Structure 1
């Protein structure tokens, strides 16, 4: 089965064709403006691609209803539109991609694969907020978790590689999150009701005191819309150091820039603390996985994060860490916990989801 994988991002529609062995036959990205895809550009790209048997869409939010991949039809698309309020920045882009591909490839079966699905079966104590019952029941307030496609692939790859049953996955990119995976199942994660919770990210704040939001609105007079925009787009590394690029921030830190030093310190402090909480959820850890843009490419972040987790048995070998390309093991001699770098392959996880639905 050849699968066309569609990943709708903030500014582009990424397309790739995978064969039955998960090899990428072709790929490209199409620019998008205001959630509208250029149909001519899409048709041109697909005209260069090999023919496909099915389409797999990455959809950020499946809510409480969609906890596994699902074949798309009018009813499912309608429900995904209703879930748009849970992910207003992401869901419209996914739906626009679904609509565009349906028009260009009519009759080709399509499957939605959800970033929330891997975390949908978190234990009740891990997904429940201590808030009023009406919020939890009527409004669906709970910890959903995100980056599930990446976490699922990385955890499975780690098990194939090391045989570990207790895995902590660090997906570090522009968005960042951790997961605790026990025997292939997510039992905790750092993102919550929205992708704002948890780690410091490129432009997102990560966890802040909810009372801060109330104070800014009620006492400082900052509009809720402005608070939301700032936490999403003007915080994280951008808010601390003025740059969302970890490489640039690390270079500035090495040159003595104080703002960059603080930014990296805050980033690592949150990363170590929350990684330790993932270990606690597992009752120990056998393998630590780094994936995502920063996780795969930033040896300094891996080294410093690993050093901060030495008390749980993590040790990163300096030479292996500096020399790894793509994927590789970077465990120091004598370390109790194996540490590996895994290339993020959401496309493989989506293709697997398509095959599981269509057979």
Structure 2
């Protein structure tokens, strides 16, 4: 097997001088080789013109290395309910120890660490208050649920090479999300509420982060009827109902999840008219009658073949001129590139199915099943979700 490194390159030939590379590639190779030398690194750190750049990159690299530690500091604060305890004002260590029921020695280490990563701030009289990154976590059940859930993900990430090579024998996320399994017994279990309750509850708890973005960005009132496919326990539909109560609404999800949704929706007189349908959207036909179908955080869980099957089913269920709205984190999110291929790339790998996709990749899949045109809708927080519309 040949490669660029094999072609006319001797051990004595600098890569930047080989004809296989263009001028810009050669310049970048020389830059990389220069920065990699200890002599240049010491020189850059000593010259004022380069010193701030050098320090910034060293700090960024350290943050990458220390990211797991930071996540565990956040987890500890969430489990001790630190942010909610501080919502009414700063507390000193003794007061914080009393309300968290945690020993002061360990708590001192935790709060000092939380200050260092801007979750908390030091205030007067040796008290601690909410930091810039801690304030948004007050009363935020969605983020707290995701922070707790990540313990399963981190267990799968303990050996990244085993995960990447496919040699990891058992993955925690694969067990947490039973619908990714192809085993008959696992698929049969999805018909029962008890088998889907845990992951469905997490989806419901974390969905407001996405639902609010969609409702703020898109006008649902121009439609007559919507069908939310993979709608979970109805959290998104309830949010849409608050702004467009006149819109007829339907939900489709796995039988066990649809049963939970029916119970949730029936508990509120305002939403009890929402219809729920149970089934498998890869094998069962979708309900018809909706001029808007929504997929909220659905397709990135599945491979291209399955996504094409689902999109074709949606295309068949929509009338001419109908609209499909896809909302989920996408790989090319503005100012959040690391979220796509870095975070979701590994999360979905650990989960066992799916991949992060760019807007263009999703658009290509839509066109393959017949959708005529696609367009994006801007959201305030692309890191939470991006929106792509497709017209039948």
Normalising by structure 2, we get a TM-score of 0.28
Q: Looking at secondary structure, tell me which structure has more strand per residue.
A: 1
Flag the structure with more relative contact order, 1 or 2, with Cα contacts below 8 A and sequence separation at least 6: 1
- When Rg is computed on C-alpha atoms for both structures, the one with the higher figure is 2
Q: Looking at secondary structure, tell me which structure has more helix per residue.
A: 2
Normalising by structure 1, we get a TM-score of 0.30
